A and B are shown apart, each in its own frame.
Chain A
Amino acid sequence: MYATSIRGTRYTFPDLKSLMAKATPLRSGDCLAGIAAASAAERVAAQMRLADLPLSTFLREALVPYEEDEVTRAIVDGHDAAAFASVASLTVGELRDWLLSDAATDETLAALAPGLTPEMVAAVAKISRNQDLIAIAAKRRVVTRFRDTLGLPGRLSSRIQPNHPTDDPKGILASAIDGLLLGNGDAVIGINPASDDLRRCHELLRLIDELRETLDIPTQSCVLSHVTTTLRLMERGAPVDLVFQSIAGTQRANRSFGVNLALLREANEAALALRRGTIGDNVMYFETGQGSALSAGAHHGCDQQTLEARAYGVARLFKPLLVNTVVGFIGPEYLFDGKQIIRAGLEDHFCGKLLGLPMGCDACYTNHAEADQNDIDDLLTLLAVAGVNYVMGVPGADDIMLNYQSTSYHDVLAVRRMLGLAPAPEFAQWLESMGAMDERGSPKPLALPAAVLPLLAKA
């Protein structure tokens, strides 16, 4: 039991997970779960109590039982006590203060990461303002490589997301070419298939692989099918660069996605064995999002921000090339409006980076959320200031297959220009060699590259 008295009122929290839940800035998903603070004052009381909590408490008290949950086991068993030693005596509040201090640098944060658990960084996020989440994350660069180098200082990469409602190859190619001509796609050209059909996914992989080979683009491709589909595609010799999977922060939630750690390990090993990366071997691509565990009825009474951080505990077992939260996709019952979506996007980026992940973000919303493109402009700019590795490039910000809105090719260009950011170095060089960008990073109005015409004829 945790208790605190503030201005004559006594607040009690029966256990650590309820303290964490009540300390979480307001969001609809925690209200839906019935675990949110009952008043604004109770929320701050919980934050004050949490700030005084020794970090070591999280090593003794599991929020999701060790015996029941393989994610907890991976977090606990993988904890690096030596890395933790430098902060072992601190409270949650003292860790926040230290993270804001000049002692916390890219190097010291990298060294600390294996000593931090998802629950610890989630706790710090709860007592941090948006500005703190940005300032601390901006110190940390997580660099990954496959065919280009992602996450370097001064860079902002993007995923081309050329989805089509019926997976039409020519339509997908058209969207991808538009993105390339607008300087997008250095993180990945990644298609969400409308159908998980094996043959269809194989065709799409070939399509993008041919485009990449034809134009000699230093990037990677991905069809975001279920990991079991990707495994079968690899067995068939399909050109799989990256293994994609949606993951969550509890074993039961992962089961609802049809995955477990052993399956992810198997897919990771299969992709590594293909040795398709030219300059690095980060071969995994994970997507996450607050609320996924509750929506699967697998949240164990925990708040959604903490469980999201635990999903990063899963991701970091596999040294991924890309991890992004799909922050506003799940709907208003989890993140109601632009304010909640922006806050969650910054929390997720912060937690992922502190745990050593190459965090990107799909800054997005659905049409039944109280949000619009202005909120996404805000979040995108804030994330870019925070040093996000990559964001989405969706044609005109409108995903016509998944029916939601994200960031556009143009948004990526605009933010790069405003903040003086460039694409991944290998990709920037490629754009220059194509004559697609001028020296300021503006796309040159360019006719279709002649080399893609044969591809179009086939598609």
Chain B
Amino acid sequence: MTETLPETHDKLAGLRAATPARIFLPRAGLALATQANLQFQLDHAEARDAVHERLDVEALIKALRSRGLEVLRLASAARDRRTYLLRPDLGRELDEASRAHLAGSADDYDIAFVIADGLSARAVSSHAIALLDEAMPAFQQGSWKLAPVVVVEQGRVAIGDEIGEILGARLVAVLIGERPGLSSPDSLGVYLTFAPRVGRNDAERNCLSNIRSQGMSYSEAAQRLFYLCGEARRRQLTGVELKDDTPLARRDDQSPRLGDPER
């Protein structure tokens, strides 16, 4: 026997449509009815799998090279997922071999794109290429000198600082899988940092968040990213001082609660 609110009221459907929250769920006794309960379990299972899935680096690199992009493959100092989760500091550093490998490509670049698995490899494999396809042409036509695209495993946002510093890039854009939500296992974020170097903090970055099919579209993300990069280059900074004034800009400044969990 499941119980739910009487569906007599046409307002109810309108209310349900007003939010993706799990409201007016059918009950069995005081608990959730079986179907609603298992739906939750499924959503959690997908989010958990997204956290623990390994990024298919070969496929990603192949896709990048087929677009004529030069690619470097690196790894953070966190050797596996458990270490990554327990030691965020190691996910922000390159391992020794990667550092040496990267130094070989050092030059003077306007911008470096870094792709990191972060907390959702699924977000990267689903959206990173599509986003770059939208974003790259503007940079290429706008005479930006692009560093090789860097793919880094077990990486956190701040690993872009070390990568950008070693490469000699004036800007670094880190495309990274965000912490999966129950309804968003594949959300991609982009973090932009001017004059990247080890020790930068999050207040010195700009962020585009929630890039996925039910969230921010590729074209919107690409436009906003190009705008932010242009402003960052013009004003020689990123972070809280650099506001996204594009008409598209909505809210990225989520009020932190007890310090944001590392994305």
Contact = CB atoms under 8 A, between A and B. Distances in A.
B68 interface: no
A442 B259 CA distance: 38
B200 interface: no
Interface residues of B, number: 55
Interface stretch (A107-115, A147-155, A260-268, A446-454): A446-454
Contact of B255 (A168, A192, A447, A453): A192
B23 A395 contact: yes
A292 B86 contact: no
A104 to B, nearest CB: 31
A105 interface: no
Interface stretch (A73-81, A203-211, A331-339): A331-339
B14 interface: yes
A445 B32 contact: no
B36 A396 contact: yes
Contacts, number: 177
Contact of A32 (B24, B30, B44, B86): B86
Interface stretch (B5-13, B99-107, B138-146): B5-13
Nearest to B20: A400
Contact of A333 (B5, B86, B255, B258): B86
A408 to B, nearest CB: 8
Contacts of A445: 3-6
B231 to A, nearest CB: 21
A51 to B, nearest CB: 29
A417 B29 CA distance: 11
Nearest to B89: A32
Q: How large is the interface on A (under 10, 10 to 19, 20 to 34, 35 or more residues)?
A: 35 or more
Q: List 3 tightest A-B contacts by C-beta distance, closest first.
A: A396-B22, A171-B19, A403-B181
Interface of A: 28, 31-32, 162-168, 170-175, 177-178, 181, 192-197, 224-226, 246, 256, 287-289, 292, 295-296, 326, 329-333, 336, 366-368, 372-373, 395-398, 400-405, 408, 410, 413-414, 417, 442, 445-448, 453, 456
Interface of B: 3-6, 8-9, 11-12, 14-16, 18-25, 27, 30-32, 36, 40-41, 43-44, 47-48, 50-51, 85-89, 119, 179-184, 210, 250-251, 253-255, 257-259, 261-262
Given A224-B255, A288-B258, 18 more contacts: A165-B20, A167-B251, A175-B23, A178-B23, A192-B255, A195-B255, A226-B255, A326-B258, A333-B86, A336-B85, A367-B179, A396-B40, A400-B20, A403-B179, A403-B180, A403-B184, A448-B11, A453-B11
